[in-house]
Structure 1
């Protein structure tokens, strides 16, 4: 069963056509990875799903419900969360205050908070620190933690490893593997080693079109296809 279906998605930004007939089926559970070179349309796809940019024509279905044209806040209330590439944290607020803003009623479920702090121990350590004082990796942890402080059915994550040290990338991979046990993740990523470690299913987008889709295991075993679609041989 697909938790998310994109059908014939086209998105224009101003006078520029960015997505051209994008169709993807994201199955229930685990990590689905959307790969592609810079400027291929990965971020536009995520933003179109969340209603930040309106696709026209084309449809986005979440659990069989057409959410095309819905407001972003209404989409989020259905159980979707988005972690943008710029993380979107509030640097002048504390870690705790950033987390409170992501709750439904301004209060934490103690069990859920404990789960999140187990995934990201640094956030507990810096709970009362200003978010702007955190390292890049800690800010990324905070961004992901906000997305899951309430139970979600689908999380969209854009380039979570960009600019992070290898040790932080490893810690992030462990966290995503754990999250993926109970929540479907649609991951946009250019770090192929990170993507292949986590992904069960995948698709490659190029110039706003899906040019390949299948299992990550099959794609990871085909070095020629990786070179052709992602330039990894270089």
Structure 2
């Protein structure tokens, strides 16, 4: 059974129909990459999974359970975390305070906090600093760290490398590899080389529809398909 299954998901935002019969399966373990051009519907897909926008018709199944009609908080309690493109951190709170807000009972699990500091050493160094004072890369690290401060089965991550320096992108990739050893990641990413280095399985959304699904290995070997779906040659 797939960890996450989308079935004929259609999402309208106001008068605009954004997603059309989106169907794909995310297997448990590793990194599943969702690719597509700007405006193709990738972020809308993540937000629909998370209950921030309600798909109708269609369904979202998590471990075989239909979670389509659940509120976002209920979905989060199922073991799904969301790292939005805008990071969503609280600038006037410290690094530690941001992490505490993401815990279930307002207390750190020392082992998980130690793991986060090993993944992102800057968060330990600046744990008493207000989040607004961090660099862009450090803010992104904090956003990801909040998603894993509690045990999760699935993390939805939207455009984590956008605007980051190459050295930070490389560090983020190493962190994602370690995280994905025990937590499935559904990654939306415009940086194709970054996505290719991490992804095991993938799907491409084009104009609100799933245009391709398969293994990242086979997709990376098909230059013509890449150019057709992502315009990589341009």
**TM > 0.5 fold call:** yes
| Aligned counterpart, 2:66 | 66
- 2:158 corresponds to which residue? 158
Q: Describe the SS at the equivalent of 1:214.
A: strand
**DSSP-derived class of the 2:3 partner:** strand
Equivalent residue number for residue 43 of structure 2:
43
Which runs of 5 or more residues in structure 2 are unaligned?
A: none
**Unpaired runs of at least 5, structure 1:** none
**Residue 69 of structure 1, CA deviation:** 1.1
**Residue in 1 that maps onto 2:95:** 95
- In structure 2, what is the Cα distance between the partners aligned to 1:36 and 1:126? 35
Q: CA deviation at 1:63?
A: 0.2
Distance 1:130 1:229 in 2: 41
1:9 aligns with 2:9: yes
Residue in 1 that maps onto 2:84? 84
TM-score, normalising length from structure 2?
1.00
CA shift for structure 1 position 186: 0.2
> What residue in structure 2 maps to residue 187 of structure 1?
187
Quote the residue 1:106 is aligned against: 106
Aligned counterparts, 1:21-40, within 5 A? 21-40=21-40
Which residue is 1:141 aligned to? 141
Q: For 2:226 and 2:205, how far apart are their aligned partners in 1?
A: 13
Report the aligned-residue RMSD: 0.4
Q: Secondary structure at the match of 1:93?
A: coil
Cα distance in 2 for residues equivalent to 1:58 and 1:233:
34
**Number of residue equivalences:** 234
What secondary structure, in the 3-state scheme, does the structure 2 residue paired with 1:197 have? helix
Per the alignment, in what secondary structure is the counterpart of residue 128 of structure 1?
Answer: coil
Moved over 4 A (4+): none
SS in 2 for 1:54: coil
Distance 1:50 1:196 in 2: 25
CA offset at residue 123 of structure 1? 0.2
| TM-score normalised to structure 1 length | 1.00
